[in-house]
Chains A and B, each alone.
Chain A
């Protein structure tokens, strides 16, 4: 599904990713943990092609294609989805309108007919119910005045509607109450399939009780410094990242 090799990337002359490698096979769930400022969100932005995030070295392949060659929207149409850590508001544009355009852009790229308003509405309602948001959220402006937790659920709703092949969830669990956490996890679990892979960025092992990862990676100072199975998350929970300090610096030297 995704092959990242020796990825180096910078933002405004600051190098943030410093030789990151990671391989994800179809159907796998990879959790990424790591201290604040390690570059987790940056990885998501670089993979999705955000303006200003410049790759200085390395290769990335998505389903055999050179991902770095593609424009942001082309990557999305190839099936890459990013659930944002801080979803932004688009006042006046209804969620419904936004997602319909989005779903149809994806369909067009796959050579499929656009969904009619009625067909789309049906799907949207289902997705909305699935993340336990009242239906009037479809009519409200994209993230406009949504609470933190509502924004996160809205991201998951979009993921469900778009049926991507690689989902990157950037702290979709932070700021959620315990019920919402369950809702988000259920949303993700319902989408797990042998063809779909996930990168789940989180600070809390708790989420991983609900979404069972196949692998857990620790990202520190722009690199994966340790990989393991689900038990690695438990370790982090107990011990924090203090042990990294020296290691990360060593790797740097």
Chain B
């Protein structure tokens, strides 16, 4: 297998594998035919088509989950188009002048450079990004180290053995309703492979991913860190992203082989909808990692966007001495609803997990933490520490905590701490008495509340995340 990888790597990076079939957008609706068409569009091998079809079969037998602390109108899955071609140049805005000024204002506040603004807003500019030399340097460095980072649709062709070996091993095809749907219809996403003993020379950011456009609403990511390797992966960006597709159901699978470490950071800022929540994104994500012996997976997420977020990045601590971590900030304001948390499944001996969850609710928002800590019969000496803090801004919002603990090993230790606090009048007054206006004060208090999570983020990301919270909270005091 490794020979095959080497071969592929020694090949020059070509744009070759993207299908040449005339782009088109499928009519709404989902059946076997649609899945066959998606697979054909991407020139997929037979096994993958089979895989998709089996996923579809399971999905049809499943019920949409209703247990989350969320309320939304029933989704009509037959009213969605499952493949949309990239917007042609002529349908896109010609310049930033044609873009929603509100969106631009936010970009400016975040200090996003002009060419990136154009890219984010979907302005028709030819390959702005690819022409930038940092991307080229970035690719060269990764190739040198033997790190594979490419669209998963490309990996299916270039590294079929790897993809076949790991795809669906962490999040099985029929894991849950949304994962099954994703498995049936996923369009693209990232594939990462870090060879044995290699430390990725830089943080891998979706931002740099080639063919960034149109990964679509059903994104699929697979990251494999071979023995003793290390990678830090950044997903998303702080700029608000809009998408015509309301339903998003992504799947992320992480495989950390013996002694490997994967650090996965997300900043999610999908459009939350207007003040009534209209037009906001529904974000149903399945993220899970498996840790082999001595391996370490760390999830860090900052969730500020979407109308609805349903997301539980989880770790299966299979190998002895493996470590799982979950650091999360979830902000919900206005009509936003967030139901997030994690699952830590301790199977191996002396496995350790840490959960730090910070939920912030403002306006009418509802924020729920749902966490499961499971200690298997063989998890001798396993430990979990969970800290779950909620911060309320105003008195119309809510915070809910649902910790589930299942221990089948008497030597395992589970600790849980939970607090709920408010941004108090005293704190606001102190800040204002020191010359800060109310908005600045709230954002500072909130940032302080999130500190333990922010410090887990890569530096620039942490600064941006802080700014993002500040902007997201605008207008929530007064």
Contact = CB atoms under 8 A, between A and B. Distances in A.
Given A72-B433, A76-B434, A109-B435, A91 B449 contact: yes
Contact of B432 (A76, A98, A162): A76
Contact of A105 (B430, B435, B449): B435
B452 interface: yes
Contacts, number: 76
A7 B120 CA distance: 56
Given A50-B429, A51-B425, A84-B430, A73 B445 contact: no
Contacts of A42: none
Contact of B430 (A52, A87, A101): A87
A49 B433 CA distance: 8
B150 interface: no
B447 interface: yes
B100 interface: no
Nearest to B389: A91
Interface stretch (B7-15, B107-115, B273-281, B436-444): B436-444
Interface residues of A, number: 32
A92 interface: yes
A48 B444 contact: no
A146 to B, nearest CB: 13
A84 B447 CA distance: 23
Contact of B436 (A49, A89, A105, A158): A105
A158 B448 contact: no
A93 B445 contact: yes
A85 to B, nearest CB: 11
Given A51-B425, A93-B444, A88 B436 contact: no
Nearest to B444: A93
Interface in A44-94: 48-52, 71-73, 76-77, 81-82, 84, 87-93
A102 B436 contact: yes
Contacts of B431: 90, 98, 102
A158 B435 CA distance: 12
B385 to A, nearest CB: 18
A76 B444 contact: no
Contacts of A158: 434
Contacts of A89: 427
A16 interface: no
A105 B424 contact: no
B448 A92 contact: yes
Interface residues of B, number: 24
Nearest to B438: A73
B435 A77 contact: yes
Nearest to A53: B429
Contact of A88 (B426, B447, B450): B426
A26 interface: no
A186 interface: no
Contacts of B433: 48, 50, 72-73, 76, 81-82
A141 interface: yes
A128 interface: no
Interface string A105-124: 11001000000000000000
A88 B444 contact: no
Contact of B435 (A49, A76, A87, A97): A76
Contacts of B445: 90, 93
Nearest to B434: A102
B451 interface: yes
Given A76-B433, A92-B449, A105-B434, 16 more contacts: A50-B429, A50-B433, A73-B436, A82-B433, A88-B427, A89-B427, A90-B444, A90-B448, A91-B448, A92-B447, A92-B450, A97-B444, A98-B434, A101-B440, A141-B448, A162-B435
Interface of B: 424-438, 440, 444-445, 447-452
Interface of A: 48-52, 71-73, 76-77, 81-82, 84, 87-93, 97-99, 101-102, 105-106, 109, 141-142, 158, 162
